[in-house]
Chain A
């Protein structure tokens, strides 16, 4: 009691009890705030570094350097739990005992494992009950082990260690835990970032790989994203394209077309498609996919495909298929008719021989014979068209073929008051073929040309031209007229057997189909261009002799 009494008197009247000073309080507060500020700065810096993808060991080194300024420690390390094992992921500074990636077994690192299990921060000292050989070997006197806790599991441990005995105050410990938390976020983000980057690159590559045009436009149809194919198509740089109207860039139009899929998609929010034929004959298919429609900033992803070639091919395929079918049928019919025809013709000839010219019936049988012959001719034509007949091929010049044909029908044409203009190229390469067959083709074409002037006034002129088409690498014979032309809807059918625009009895409708059959047997094609009222041009393309090519070269 007396001692207690003395102490109280000392506090009441002695020199050591003083009025608390605001200056001291202020200084304490300021130093506290300064420290807190540095802590926040470090956390900020850490948060920033996450986004720029610093390597983890670099990050740990940076943290170590910065944190040392406010909290004393000699060593910092990061351990990661993976597959039920604990690994030293990185540490700073180098110590000659540790190496990155080394495993810390549970019996070696009891304190570390303890924190991993309890998920609570631990201030470890040697002899504190938990033997940690890993830390002891490093000569550590105090280690603050903070768990890196995420989604109900400990990802790893953040360890700040001291080689000297030191007392950390609670705010320091709280800060080290905050750092560990931040590092946890970093680790999670890093993995996520890598994942996202990979996915992004994949998508970008996909976008680039597509050879058709892909554009992304906003609600005003202004471009803000394109793939390389679009750049190539427009011939503009990416910068120049940004913000331009897609109508202008793709269609070369000032405003949107009536049936534009992009407009429709923008208005309805539904996927739309349209086809657009340009003046130069190209046909483009547009697919417009609305995107981001729900989030108030609607835009459209446009996929544009040039389908000109595809359409052409489709028409060609259709035609070929139909001709093939017709050919087969024709051949069948022709074979079936051949036998009864032969019988009719033989029998008629026998009957005619038995009848005298004066006999009344002679004329009737004669008619039968004429008609039977005509039938035989038709059957022959059908067989030719369906390439059922074999011919001998040999090298020949198309110029000769044309000249022979003109000898046959030239007079007939010119008497109909039609001028024939010829233009033969002397150096035209030789082809391999059958002259009689090809002459028949030419005769057919010339007669068709002659007939195209029926019922027309104006210039009556047929041009016959031969030459070599460099682009196709084929020899051609071109027969053009200034006649009535072929109506567009008929163009696709003119090669069909029995198709004719002429009056009944004026043609068999086999001329062109037989011609095509012959030309195809020669490995060639017949092209046709026609404009009603202006005339038609038929071009026979034939492959040149390979030897001829090398000889002329």
Chain B
């Protein structure tokens, strides 16, 4: 890629930075904030804390926590109605991938109008969004820094990917303290999501030197900290490291785009409402194996970043080590290894493959994949 654009939001990183949420919103000209979160984050007390910070700077707010994992189009419709009815003028997303995706989708509709499926695809947003602040409550999803949001079309039962520079938030707040209330399973799933972002960005056909640096560093940090983070809720060093890894992976992924793992994981979420992180973790080694021939050296780099000993090995052997490393990490953190475990059946594969082939994420996959090839991968992961 000879000419490229690299885009990141204003980033605030560090323990306790959640308290800056009110000031940040005010700085962007907000007077009444639409705070999007979910039941889990609210239950952990983070919504109350965020609201307190909004109140401290004299901002009004409307809290909306109706979003569910894999946010649905009709939920977004409700969010838009509430936003307009209550006269809000800024959006804050506080949560994992779902709450942040929902926040972005509501932001699209309140200034652009229409239905959310009008914006499916790339660069379809014509008008600026209201001031948008995203606070990450997991280490993995990365939505707080990306140009994407993914919403389920409940009629077509597919995940619609919406990509636009306008979706890059104005401010991203990453506070590792928020990770301390997440259980081990979610920590593992989101951590694998981050790793997937980094690996797919690194082998992406749209990778640039900037994203390479970020992706490799993210892979390295996940490899060294995810086990410890899954192991302990209170290991702040591991949590901080995972928060940074997720941030770097998110930036890399937003600018270098994804690959077949995401293309294939999206239909699983849309059709079977499968948790995104789990699906990614299961699919990742199989897709790596499929992609291997496209860029052996890059996979060798990944193996090295994951701490594998590659000296003296052929590039092919070194590349294969990366797959082993990923499988080992999955095994260590107790991630599921078969799609059947989370409800996939053979009869779904045809429909899933067709959907994956049409997914935007597939375009930057290093190896061209046909519907049949994608079906094969699904079968392998079954």
B165 A19 Cβ-Cβ under 8 A: yes
Per-residue contact bits, chain A 1-45, to B (CB 8 Å; 1 contact, 0 not): 000010011011111011111101100000000000000000000
A17 B128 Cβ-Cβ under 8 A: no
In the assembled complex, the Cα of A24 lies from the Cα of B127 at a distance in Å of 10
Per-residue contact bits, chain B 287-305, to A (CB 8 Å; 1 contact, 0 not): 0000000000000000000
Q: Which residues of B contact A24 (CB under 8 A)?
A: 128
Contacts A8-B360, A15-B5; is A20 near B128 (CB within 8 Å)? Answer: yes
B126 A13 Cβ-Cβ under 8 A: no
In the assembled complex, the Cα of A15 lies from the Cα of B206 at a distance in Å of 13
Q: How far is the CB of B9 from chain A (nearest CB, A)?
A: 10
Q: Which residues of A contact B163 (CB under 8 A)?
A: 11-12
Is B168's CB within 8 Å of the partner chain A?
yes
In the assembled complex, the Cα of A7 lies from the Cα of B259 at a distance in Å of 16
Contacts A5-B363, A9-B257, A14-B3; is A21 near B205 (CB within 8 Å)? Answer: no
Contacts A13-B206, A15-B3; is A21 near B363 (CB within 8 Å)? Answer: no
Q: Which residues of A contact B (CB under 8 A)?
A: 5, 8-9, 11-15, 17-22, 24-25
Most chain B CB neighbours (cut-off 10 Å) among A8, A21, A24: A8
List 29 contacting pairs A-B, 8 Å CB cutoff, sorted by A. Answer: A5-B363, A8-B122, A8-B363, A9-B205, A9-B257, A9-B364, A11-B122, A12-B122, A12-B123, A12-B206, A12-B364, A13-B1, A13-B4, A13-B5, A13-B255, A13-B257, A14-B3, A15-B5, A17-B164, A17-B165, A18-B165, A19-B128, A19-B165, A19-B166, A20-B126, A20-B127, A20-B129, A24-B128, A25-B128
A20 B166 Cβ-Cβ under 8 A: yes
In the assembled complex, the Cα of A24 lies from the Cα of B166 at a distance in Å of 13
Q: How far is the CB of A443 from chain B (nearest CB, A)?
A: 115
Q: Which residues of B contact A22 (CB under 8 A)?
A: 128
A11 B125 Cβ-Cβ under 8 A: no
Per-residue contact bits, chain B 251-272, to A (CB 8 Å; 1 contact, 0 not): 0000111000000000000000
In the complex, besides A8-B360, A9-B364, A21-B128, 12 extra interface pairs with C-beta distance below 8 angstroms are A8-B363, A9-B205, A11-B122, A12-B257, A12-B360, A13-B4, A14-B3, A15-B5, A17-B122, A17-B123, A18-B5, A19-B7
A9 B206 Cβ-Cβ under 8 A: yes
Give residues 329-375 of B contacting A (CB, 8 Å): 360, 363-364
Secondary structure of the A contact surface, majority rule: helix
Q: How far is the CB of B250 from chain A (nearest CB, A)?
A: 15
Question: Could you say which of A5, A11, A13, A14 contacts B256, with CB atoms under 8 Å apart?
Answer: A13
Most chain A CB neighbours (cut-off 10 Å) among B147, B363, B364: B363
Q: How far is the CB of B26 from chain A (nearest CB, A)?
A: 16
In the assembled complex, the Cα of A13 lies from the Cα of B201 at a distance in Å of 12
Give residues 144-174 of B contacting A (CB, 8 Å): 147, 163-166, 168
* Smallest CB gap from A7: residue in B: B122
Q: Which residues of B contact A5 (CB under 8 A)?
A: 363
Q: Which 3 interchain pairs have the tightest Cβ spacing? A: A20-B128, A19-B165, A11-B123
Q: Which residues of A contact B164 (CB under 8 A)?
A: 17, 19
Q: Which residues of A contact B168 (CB under 8 A)?
A: 19
In the assembled complex, the Cα of A140 lies from the Cα of B7 at a distance in Å of 50
* Smallest CB gap from A19: residue in B: B165
Q: How far is the CB of A266 from chain B (nearest CB, A)?
A: 57
Per-residue contact bits, chain B 17-55, to A (CB 8 Å; 1 contact, 0 not): 000000000000000000000000000000000000000
In the assembled complex, the Cα of A24 lies from the Cα of B128 at a distance in Å of 9
A14 B5 Cβ-Cβ under 8 A: yes
Q: How far is the CB of A520 from chain B (nearest CB, A)?
A: 103
In the assembled complex, the Cα of A18 lies from the Cα of B7 at a distance in Å of 9
Q: Which residues of A contact B147 (CB under 8 A)?
A: 12
Q: Which residues of A contact B126 (CB under 8 A)?
A: 20
In the assembled complex, the Cα of A25 lies from the Cα of B166 at a distance in Å of 13
Q: How far is the CB of B67 from chain A (nearest CB, A)?
A: 24
In the assembled complex, the Cα of A145 lies from the Cα of B79 at a distance in Å of 45
Q: Which residues of A contact B360 (CB under 8 A)?
A: 8, 12
In the assembled complex, the Cα of A536 lies from the Cα of B62 at a distance in Å of 109
In the assembled complex, the Cα of A390 lies from the Cα of B166 at a distance in Å of 129
In the assembled complex, the Cα of A8 lies from the Cα of B163 at a distance in Å of 10
In the assembled complex, the Cα of A18 lies from the Cα of B125 at a distance in Å of 10
Per-residue contact bits, chain B 192-210, to A (CB 8 Å; 1 contact, 0 not): 0000000000000110100
Give residues 183-230 of B contacting A (CB, 8 Å): 205-206, 208
In the assembled complex, the Cα of A24 lies from the Cα of B256 at a distance in Å of 27
Q: How far is the CB of A168 from chain B (nearest CB, A)?
A: 22
In the assembled complex, the Cα of A9 lies from the Cα of B1 at a distance in Å of 10
In the assembled complex, the Cα of A313 lies from the Cα of B376 at a distance in Å of 130
B125 A20 Cβ-Cβ under 8 A: yes
Q: Which residues of A contact B166 (CB under 8 A)?
A: 19-20
* Smallest CB gap from A24: residue in B: B128
Most chain B CB neighbours (cut-off 10 Å) among A8, A13, A21: A13
* Smallest CB gap from B125: residue in A: A20
Q: How far is the CB of A7 from chain B (nearest CB, A)?
A: 9
Contacts A21-B128, A22-B128, A25-B127; is A15 near B4 (CB within 8 Å)? Answer: yes
In the assembled complex, the Cα of A5 lies from the Cα of B206 at a distance in Å of 11
Question: Could you say which of B4, B127, B363 contacts A14, with CB atoms under 8 Å apart?
Answer: B4
Q: Which residues of B contact A11 (CB under 8 A)?
A: 122-123, 163
Q: Which residues of A contact B3 (CB under 8 A)?
A: 14-15
* Smallest CB gap from B28: residue in A: A22
In the assembled complex, the Cα of A25 lies from the Cα of B127 at a distance in Å of 7
Q: Which residues of A contact B128 (CB under 8 A)?
A: 19-22, 24-25
In the assembled complex, the Cα of A19 lies from the Cα of B147 at a distance in Å of 9
In the assembled complex, the Cα of A360 lies from the Cα of B319 at a distance in Å of 194
* Smallest CB gap from B167: residue in A: A19
Q: Which residues of A contact B256 (CB under 8 A)?
A: 13
* Smallest CB gap from B211: residue in A: A13
Q: Which residues of A contact B122 (CB under 8 A)?
A: 8, 11-12, 17
Q: Which residues of B contact A19 (CB under 8 A)?
A: 7, 128, 164-166, 168
In the assembled complex, the Cα of A13 lies from the Cα of B129 at a distance in Å of 20
In the assembled complex, the Cα of A22 lies from the Cα of B131 at a distance in Å of 10
Give residues 73-126 of B contacting A (CB, 8 Å): 122-123, 125-126
In the assembled complex, the Cα of A8 lies from the Cα of B4 at a distance in Å of 13
* Smallest CB gap from A21: residue in B: B128
Q: How far is the CB of B248 from chain A (nearest CB, A)?
A: 17
Q: Which residues of B contact A14 (CB under 8 A)?
A: 3-5
Q: How far is the CB of A22 from chain B (nearest CB, A)?
A: 5
In the assembled complex, the Cα of A8 lies from the Cα of B364 at a distance in Å of 9
Q: Which residues of A contact B205 (CB under 8 A)?
A: 9
* Smallest CB gap from A4: residue in B: B363
Per-residue contact bits, chain B 317-334, to A (CB 8 Å; 1 contact, 0 not): 000000000000000000
Q: Which residues of B contact A20 (CB under 8 A)?
A: 125-129, 165-166
Q: Which residues of B contact A13 (CB under 8 A)?
A: 1, 4-5, 206, 208, 255-257
Q: Which residues of B contact A21 (CB under 8 A)?
A: 128
In the assembled complex, the Cα of A22 lies from the Cα of B206 at a distance in Å of 29
* Smallest CB gap from A2: residue in B: B368
Q: How far is the CB of A111 from chain B (nearest CB, A)?
A: 35
